[in-house]
Amino acid sequence: MLLSLGLSACQREAAPTAAAPATPAADTAPAVNPAPITDQPAENVPPATAPVSNPPPAASSTLARFDGYGDMRFGMSVEQTKQAWGGELKGKPSADSTCYYLLPIWVSNAREFGFMVEDGKFARVDVGGDKEVAPGGGKRGMSADEIRRLYPGKVEEQPHKYEQGGKYLRVADPAGGAGVLVFETGADGKVSHWRIGVPPQVDYVEGCF
Protein backbone atom coordinates (compact mmCIF):
# COMPACT_ATOMS: atom_id res chain seq x y z
CA MET A 1 0.00 0.00 0.00
CA LEU A 2 2.74 2.41 0.85
CA LEU A 3 4.67 1.60 -2.33
CA SER A 4 1.71 2.19 -4.62
CA LEU A 5 1.16 5.59 -3.11
CA GLY A 6 4.70 6.50 -4.08
CA LEU A 7 4.00 6.01 -7.83
CA SER A 8 2.95 8.88 -10.06
CA ALA A 9 -0.53 8.92 -11.58
CA CYS A 10 0.91 8.03 -15.00
CA GLN A 11 2.77 5.10 -13.55
CA ARG A 12 -0.34 3.76 -11.86
CA GLU A 13 -2.33 3.92 -15.13
CA ALA A 14 0.44 2.21 -17.10
CA ALA A 15 1.07 -0.55 -14.57
CA PRO A 16 0.07 -4.10 -15.78
CA THR A 17 -2.72 -5.93 -14.06
CA ALA A 18 -0.37 -8.77 -13.18
CA ALA A 19 1.48 -8.36 -9.98
CA ALA A 20 4.91 -6.98 -10.46
CA PRO A 21 7.51 -5.84 -8.10
CA ALA A 22 7.08 -2.23 -7.34
CA THR A 23 9.95 0.16 -7.67
CA PRO A 24 10.30 3.54 -6.06
CA ALA A 25 9.06 6.48 -8.12
CA ALA A 26 12.45 8.06 -7.87
CA ASP A 27 13.97 5.17 -9.84
CA THR A 28 11.53 5.36 -12.79
CA ALA A 29 10.58 9.03 -13.21
CA PRO A 30 13.56 11.06 -14.44
CA ALA A 31 13.85 14.52 -13.08
CA VAL A 32 12.80 17.28 -15.48
CA ASN A 33 14.87 20.42 -15.36
CA PRO A 34 12.61 23.47 -15.57
CA ALA A 35 13.29 25.93 -18.39
CA PRO A 36 15.47 28.77 -17.25
CA ILE A 37 13.62 31.97 -16.55
CA THR A 38 14.87 34.90 -18.58
CA ASP A 39 13.65 38.38 -19.42
CA GLN A 40 15.28 38.29 -22.84
CA PRO A 41 13.00 37.61 -25.89
CA ALA A 42 13.69 34.47 -27.89
CA GLU A 43 15.79 34.98 -30.98
CA ASN A 44 14.16 35.05 -34.42
CA VAL A 45 10.69 35.28 -32.92
CA PRO A 46 8.69 38.19 -34.32
CA PRO A 47 6.98 40.44 -31.80
CA ALA A 48 3.28 39.86 -31.24
CA THR A 49 2.51 43.20 -32.79
CA ALA A 50 4.73 44.59 -35.54
CA PRO A 51 5.58 48.28 -35.14
CA VAL A 52 3.50 50.52 -37.37
CA SER A 53 5.63 52.70 -39.58
CA ASN A 54 4.62 56.29 -40.21
CA PRO A 55 2.83 56.72 -43.55
CA PRO A 56 4.60 58.85 -46.15
CA PRO A 57 3.46 62.47 -46.26
CA ALA A 58 0.62 63.16 -48.65
CA ALA A 59 1.62 64.65 -51.95
CA SER A 60 1.07 68.33 -52.21
CA SER A 61 -2.05 69.16 -54.12
CA THR A 62 -3.30 72.35 -55.73
CA LEU A 63 -6.53 73.63 -57.17
CA ALA A 64 -4.78 76.02 -59.54
CA ARG A 65 -4.52 74.72 -63.09
CA PHE A 66 -3.26 76.03 -66.41
CA ASP A 67 -6.87 75.97 -67.60
CA GLY A 68 -8.57 77.28 -64.48
CA TYR A 69 -9.02 76.74 -60.77
CA GLY A 70 -10.78 73.73 -59.25
CA ASP A 71 -13.96 73.19 -61.27
CA MET A 72 -13.77 76.66 -62.78
CA ARG A 73 -12.35 77.02 -66.28
CA PHE A 74 -10.98 80.09 -67.99
CA GLY A 75 -13.54 81.42 -70.44
CA MET A 76 -16.57 80.59 -68.28
CA SER A 77 -19.26 83.21 -67.84
CA VAL A 78 -19.69 84.86 -64.47
CA GLU A 79 -22.69 82.67 -63.65
CA GLN A 80 -20.87 79.52 -64.69
CA THR A 81 -17.88 80.57 -62.59
CA LYS A 82 -20.03 81.14 -59.51
CA GLN A 83 -21.77 77.81 -59.94
CA ALA A 84 -18.46 75.99 -60.34
CA TRP A 85 -17.08 77.70 -57.23
CA GLY A 86 -20.05 76.43 -55.24
CA GLY A 87 -20.06 79.24 -52.69
CA GLU A 88 -20.53 82.97 -52.41
CA LEU A 89 -18.36 85.26 -54.51
CA LYS A 90 -18.53 89.03 -54.12
CA GLY A 91 -17.63 91.69 -56.65
CA LYS A 92 -19.09 93.48 -59.64
CA PRO A 93 -17.80 95.70 -62.46
CA SER A 94 -17.56 99.44 -62.07
CA ALA A 95 -19.40 101.80 -64.39
CA ASP A 96 -16.26 102.57 -66.43
CA SER A 97 -14.61 99.14 -66.68
CA THR A 98 -15.45 95.58 -67.68
CA CYS A 99 -12.49 94.19 -65.70
CA TYR A 100 -13.04 93.30 -62.03
CA TYR A 101 -12.47 90.59 -59.45
CA LEU A 102 -14.74 88.02 -57.87
CA LEU A 103 -13.61 87.40 -54.29
CA PRO A 104 -14.50 84.70 -51.75
CA ILE A 105 -16.29 86.21 -48.78
CA TRP A 106 -13.23 85.87 -46.51
CA VAL A 107 -10.96 87.85 -48.85
CA SER A 108 -10.70 91.64 -48.66
CA ASN A 109 -8.08 92.32 -51.33
CA ALA A 110 -7.70 90.81 -54.80
CA ARG A 111 -3.91 90.84 -54.41
CA GLU A 112 -4.36 88.30 -51.64
CA PHE A 113 -6.61 86.00 -53.68
CA GLY A 114 -9.12 86.66 -56.42
CA PHE A 115 -10.64 85.61 -59.73
CA MET A 116 -10.30 88.15 -62.52
CA VAL A 117 -13.22 88.64 -64.87
CA GLU A 118 -13.07 90.71 -68.04
CA ASP A 119 -15.83 91.20 -70.58
CA GLY A 120 -17.97 88.77 -68.62
CA LYS A 121 -15.43 85.90 -68.77
CA PHE A 122 -13.29 84.31 -66.08
CA ALA A 123 -9.68 84.93 -67.17
CA ARG A 124 -7.17 84.78 -64.31
CA VAL A 125 -6.41 83.82 -60.68
CA ASP A 126 -4.28 86.10 -58.47
CA VAL A 127 -2.47 84.67 -55.42
CA GLY A 128 -0.61 86.60 -52.73
CA GLY A 129 -0.74 84.12 -49.84
CA ASP A 130 1.23 81.10 -48.70
CA LYS A 131 -1.49 78.43 -48.78
CA GLU A 132 -2.00 78.16 -52.53
CA VAL A 133 0.40 76.14 -54.67
CA ALA A 134 0.84 76.67 -58.41
CA PRO A 135 0.75 73.75 -60.83
CA GLY A 136 4.24 72.29 -60.83
CA GLY A 137 4.87 73.20 -57.17
CA GLY A 138 5.79 76.89 -57.24
CA LYS A 139 4.57 79.07 -54.41
CA ARG A 140 5.04 82.34 -52.58
CA GLY A 141 8.35 82.67 -50.71
CA MET A 142 10.39 80.57 -53.12
CA SER A 143 13.53 82.01 -54.67
CA ALA A 144 13.86 82.66 -58.37
CA ASP A 145 16.41 79.84 -58.51
CA GLU A 146 13.91 77.41 -56.98
CA ILE A 147 11.35 78.41 -59.60
CA ARG A 148 13.89 77.83 -62.38
CA ARG A 149 14.63 74.38 -61.00
CA LEU A 150 10.94 73.49 -60.78
CA TYR A 151 10.30 74.53 -64.38
CA PRO A 152 13.61 73.79 -66.13
CA GLY A 153 13.94 75.38 -69.54
CA LYS A 154 10.42 76.81 -69.38
CA VAL A 155 10.91 80.09 -67.51
CA GLU A 156 10.88 83.33 -69.50
CA GLU A 157 12.26 86.21 -67.42
CA GLN A 158 11.21 89.83 -67.67
CA PRO A 159 12.23 92.79 -65.47
CA HIS A 160 9.74 93.99 -62.89
CA LYS A 161 7.92 97.12 -63.96
CA TYR A 162 8.06 98.86 -60.57
CA GLU A 163 10.62 97.13 -58.33
CA GLN A 164 14.30 97.37 -59.17
CA GLY A 165 15.88 93.91 -59.18
CA GLY A 166 12.48 92.23 -59.28
CA LYS A 167 11.37 89.94 -62.08
CA TYR A 168 8.40 88.34 -63.73
CA LEU A 169 9.03 84.62 -64.28
CA ARG A 170 6.64 83.49 -66.98
CA VAL A 171 5.86 79.79 -67.56
CA ALA A 172 3.70 78.65 -70.48
CA ASP A 173 1.45 75.61 -70.19
CA PRO A 174 3.77 72.61 -70.83
CA ALA A 175 0.82 70.75 -72.37
CA GLY A 176 0.49 73.42 -75.06
CA GLY A 177 -2.68 75.04 -73.73
CA ALA A 178 -3.38 78.75 -73.64
CA GLY A 179 -2.75 79.11 -69.90
CA VAL A 180 0.28 80.97 -68.53
CA LEU A 181 1.76 81.03 -65.02
CA VAL A 182 3.56 84.18 -63.85
CA PHE A 183 5.66 84.45 -60.67
CA GLU A 184 6.45 87.95 -59.43
CA THR A 185 9.67 88.36 -57.43
CA GLY A 186 10.91 91.34 -55.46
CA ALA A 187 14.38 92.80 -55.11
CA ASP A 188 15.18 90.01 -52.63
CA GLY A 189 14.65 87.42 -55.36
CA LYS A 190 11.69 85.84 -53.54
CA VAL A 191 8.24 85.22 -55.00
CA SER A 192 5.81 87.72 -53.51
CA HIS A 193 2.80 87.00 -55.75
CA TRP A 194 1.86 84.72 -58.59
CA ARG A 195 -0.97 84.48 -61.06
CA ILE A 196 -2.26 82.07 -63.64
CA GLY A 197 -4.60 82.74 -66.52
CA VAL A 198 -4.89 83.36 -70.22
CA PRO A 199 -3.41 86.21 -72.28
CA PRO A 200 -3.79 89.09 -72.43
CA GLN A 201 -5.26 89.26 -68.91
CA VAL A 202 -2.52 87.19 -67.27
CA ASP A 203 0.03 89.79 -68.35
CA TYR A 204 -1.81 92.79 -66.86
CA VAL A 205 0.83 94.03 -64.41
CA GLU A 206 -1.65 96.09 -62.40
CA GLY A 207 -4.48 93.58 -62.63
CA CYS A 208 -7.73 95.42 -63.21
CA PHE A 209 -6.50 98.57 -61.51
pLDDT in tens, 51-93: 333 333 333 457 999 999 999 999 999 999 999 999 999 999 9
pLDDT at 209: 76
Find out whether 100 and 119 touch, Cβ atoms under 8 Å.
Answer: no
pLDDT at 33: 52
188-198 CB burial, b ≥16 within 10 A, e <16: eebbbbbbbbb
Find out whether 93 and 99 touch, Cβ atoms under 8 Å.
Answer: yes
pLDDT at 62: 78
pLDDT at 95: 87
DSSP structure string for 106-149: T---TTTEEEEEETTEEEEEEE-SSS---TTS--TT-BHHHHHH
pLDDT at 58: 34
pLDDT at 46: 43
Q: Please list the ranges in the chain whose pLDDT falls under 70.
A: 1-61
Is the pTM above the cut of 0.85? no
pLDDT at 19: 46
